[in-house]
Amino acid sequence: MKNYKHIMFSFLALIFMSCQDDDQQFGEIVAPSNLSITADIVGADDANPNGDGTGVVTFTATADNAISYSFIYNSNKKTEASGTTSFIFSDLGVNTYTVTAVAYGTAGATSSKTIEVEVLATYAPPPELVNKLIGDGTKTWRIKSSQAGHFGVGPPGGTIPAEWYGAGPNEKAGVGMYDDRYIFSEDGTFTFITNANNDADGTDPTGTVFGRAGLIDQLGGSGGEQVGDDILNYPYNDFQSTWNLIGPGGVETISLSGNGFIGYYAGGSHNYRVFDWSVPNELVLSTLDGSGELEWWFIITSE
């Protein structure tokens, strides 16, 4: 009986010490305080209090004891350690938008604050581009894998498609990109099918995607194979977000909400510059990645 009590005492002491070690690992939980958020509307002045019509607004959040920040507008969430990010609002006319800033402290502690902004947007996309994108109401697109340069990379803001590297025809077979489908619908829905080849016997939402190491985990999954800076065949299910055509600086741009992307997950703004739409059933797109260091290029074709 004495031995039994001694064993139980030792066991309980071990549990207590283990809990103490866990507490020490987490450290003190400190929630951010004194959170503030400001909005800078591009082109706003006394004569144009709602901006210059581009719809671009830069938000800045500051707080004591904050490690990083997120900004949330509808389903679009952007996480920035710096506390600064931009949104483009595209509803025509002057409209009121609500944006929430979330400050993250240690051990997941958070504080949040909301701001409202009135923003003027005057951009109306070319009807020809809208019709090309959605057809009679919905249209399915894919990477044009048979064409050289269908996927590539170049300098930020570059004007030469795939200036630094362009994939050869079908070069990226088997990485989780060629079986993806991107469906644009008239109601603003963007549907991403991660494997278009597994639905013959009914809907199967499972599939894989292709993306950048260190950025693709923003999707909230895990796995895949890392080859250099790329993650191949990252497991991910079909999903939906929304799309808009916007025109920052007069450049037609496809803006996807949330973690919506095309071709290769690179993070960033999820805005895709429409570089060339002159070829029937084809779009040449580019996007700046989340590191701000590389411009990723894609050629997509409609089915």
The CATH number of residue 61's host domain is 2.60.40.10
Identify residue 139 by its one-letter amino acid code: K
Contacts of 58 (CB under 8 A, 6+ apart): 39, 40, 42, 84, 85, 86
Instruction: Measure the CA–CA gap between 161 and 285, rounded to whole angstroms.
Output: 9
Q: Coil, strand, or helix at residue 20?
A: helix
pLDDT digit string, tens, across residues 163-211: 999 999 999 999 999 999 999 999 999 999 999 998 777 789 999 999 9
Domain final position from 121, 152, 171: 121
pLDDT digit string, tens, across residues 96-108: 999 999 999 988 8
Host domain of residue 115: 33-121
Beta strands in 42-176 (DSSP E): 56-64, 68-73, 76-80, 84-88, 93-104, 110-121, 138-143, 151-154, 165-166
For residues 103 and 217, membership in a common domain is answered with: no
Q: Which two tokens stand for residue 209?
A: 């995607």
Q: Is residue 4 part of a domain?
A: no
For residues 226 and 77, membership in a common domain is answered with: no
Q: Is residue 47 part of a domain?
A: yes
- Give the global pTM: 0.76
For residues 155 and 291, membership in a common domain is answered with: yes
Q: Coil, strand, or helix at residue 178?
A: coil
Domain final position from 65, 86, 121: 121
Count CB atoms within 10 A of the CB of residue 199: 13
For residues 135 and 263, membership in a common domain is answered with: yes
Q: Is residue 37 part of a domain?
A: yes
Domain final position from 121, 152, 183: 121
For residues 114 and 134, membership in a common domain is answered with: no
Report the domain count for the chain. Answer: 2
